[in-house]
Amino acid sequence: MNKNDSERIASFLVDFGLKQTTKPEKADVLLINTCSVREHAEQRVFGFIHNWNKFRENKPNLIIGITGCLPGHDKDEKIRKKFEKVDLYFPIIDLPNLPEKLNKINPELFPLEKSKQLSEYWEYEPIRQNNFSASITIQNGCNNFCTYCIVPYSRGREKNRPLKEILEEIKKLDKEKFLQIDLLGQVVNNYQAPDPENFSLNNPYQEKDHFAALLWEVNQIEGVKRIFFTAPDPQYFNDWQIEALTLPKMMNYLHIPVQSGDNKILKKMNRKYTREFFIELIRKIRQVKPEIALGTDIIVGFCGETEEQFQNTLDLYQQCDFDISYHAKYSNRPGTVADKLFVDDISEEIKKERWQKIQKIMEEQTLKKNQFYKDKIVSVLVTECQDGYCQGNSKEMKLTKFLGDKSLLGKIVQVKINNPERWILFGEMV
Ligand code: SAH
Ligand code: SF4
């Protein structure tokens, strides 16, 4: 989502006539789009700002700014005060207010008449980095308040984008360049269209579930070849959404964050489902789409997590037979419920140990799961070609590599897998 926001900021600045550069020392404007999910990401921002401030010597008019999640949750600007000079400090949703601010700083570089006066940040059309898939933000913010999470503070309350705008953005895309659509939202499957009258009359899900109905609409759009979404919340996954996973253009991969496999921890995290509910959900999904690949997110070492509770997570991981998972050591975030009410009492050493344990199990399981693809044919969107080899993700989100040349770039090809390794499926085009 942050990457997609950066693509919008780029378009916003290009509208003023600025050009993108890969050399920070040459730039007139340097903006950093920050992530706050874990403390480590925030720490890195200090280093960037420190180095960038040195460029001011040769460029006295340099504008340095911080946007994204950090200014979003730093309402009283306590963190801002720790930075050396920054000229702009705004949460991403304030992008539409930026023209005035920039104009005040440098009216020559930022004449107001050049800027588009839009009311929502997502109305700025992203300058997309072309890797053949287009991220489409359908929602911003979150109302779930999982106790560990800073997102509801940094991005604010959940707001859904009008259906009409979403579909128009997708329809306008150059379909030669963008074969895959990635729908983005913090609780993406809780999408509620503010303009449901824009669903097609023959949409089978419009009265039942707006997210399933949106998937159906995107599936209808000519030129779209693949549809992916992230991140759904298990509590909202209903039978309509499960059925929509079988629409022809849907990826054969679902990323569904579970965070923990222990009921007490889930409750303490304010995740509103149980271990049993989650396992049953996975069973139902596999019933309608037996060969779907599954991924998840897990936090280890949350406040008070016992060894037994961690074991329950390992046990759930194996029961659900995930293909991949992203593990995070719990990081206390200021202002969250966990920060105020619980003690971050699991030592860094134990967090690390648990992280390594689950990582090892995942890596073994990933290799085992990949064996399934031996001698099978997968459908690959080719995103890179170099030295006689091409690679790209299969519909299962497995990185696949095979002999081929640049003419295949941006095409969807069929590849027969003969050597499935842990992180790459090797095969040959058929
Ligand atoms: N909205 C998504 C995920 C948002 S944050 C969801 O509900 O699943 C992305 C991931 O970062 C989460 O899935 C979680 O695993 C991790 N994360 C969030 N807050 C964290 C924290 N305080 N410490 C460690 N990991 C965290
Ligand atoms: Fe954070 Fe929970 Fe919202 Fe995801 S659902 S963004 S983890 S509060």
Ligand nearest to the CA of residue 232, numbered in listed order = 1
Give the other-Cβ count within 10 Å of 282's Cβ: 23
Looking only at the bridges linking them, the beta strands covering 139-140 and 63-68 are unpaired
- The first and second tokens of residue 249, run together, are 């253009």
CA 240 from chain centre, in angstroms, equals 23
Atom of ligand 1 nearest to the CA of 150: 19
Q: Does the beta carbon of 346 sit less than 6 angstroms from any atom of ligand 1?
A: no
Residue showing tokens 């070849």: 225
Q: Which residues line ligand 2 (CB under 6 A)?
A: 142, 144-146, 149, 151-152, 186-187, 233
Q: Record the pTM.
A: 0.95
* Cα–ligand 2 centroid distance for 163 (angstroms): 22
Q: Does the beta carbon of 71 sit less than 6 angstroms from any atom of ligand 1?
A: no
Per-residue confidence (pLDDT) for residue 379, from 0 to 100: 98
Distance CA 6, CA 94 (A): 14
Q: Does the beta carbon of 126 sit less than 6 angstroms from any atom of ligand 1?
A: no
94 near 58, Cβ under 8 Å? Answer: no
- The first and second tokens of residue 266, run together, are 């889930």
Per-residue confidence (pLDDT) for residue 40, from 0 to 100: 86
Give the other-Cβ count within 10 Å of 330's Cβ: 21
Looking only at the bridges linking them, the beta strands covering 180-184 and 133-137 are parallel
* Cα–ligand 1 centroid distance for 100 (angstroms): 34
416 near 376, Cβ under 8 Å? Answer: yes
DSSP 56-70: GGT-TT-EEEEEEHH
Q: Does the beta carbon of 353 sit less than 6 angstroms from any atom of ligand 1?
A: no
Nearest CA to ligand 1 atom 24: 330
Give the H/E segment covering residue 29.
strand 29-34
Q: Does the beta carbon of 299 sit less than 6 angstroms from any atom of ligand 1?
A: yes
* Cα–ligand 1 centroid distance for 327 (angstroms): 9
Angle, CA 113 vertex, CA 112 and CA 119 arms, to 5°: 70
Distance CA 90, CA 64 (A): 12
Residue showing tokens 């609409």: 217
Distance CA 163, CA 176 (A): 23
Atom of ligand 2 nearest to the CA of 231: 4
Distance CA 24, CA 30 (A): 7
Angle, CA 324 vertex, CA 319 and CA 326 arms, to 5°: 105
Distance CA 259, CA 144 (A): 14
Nearest CA to ligand 2 atom 2: 146
pLDDT along the chain (430 residues), means of 10: 92 92 94 90 90 94 94 91 92 92 92 86 88 94 97 95 97 93 97 98 97 98 97 97 98 98 98 98 98 98 98 98 98 96 98 98 97 98 96 98 96 98 97
* Cα–ligand 2 centroid distance for 230 (angstroms): 12
Distance CA 300, CA 358 (A): 9
378 near 400, Cβ under 8 Å? Answer: yes
Distance CA 43, CA 32 (A): 13
* Cα–ligand 1 centroid distance for 37 (angstroms): 6
* Cα–ligand 2 centroid distance for 171 (angstroms): 29
Mutate which of 233, 297, 332 for ligand 1 pocket (most atoms within 8 A of beta carbon): 297
Q: Which one, of 391, 381, 387, 397, lies nearest residue 426 by Cα? A: 391
Collapsed DSSP state (helix, strand, coil) of residue 28 = coil
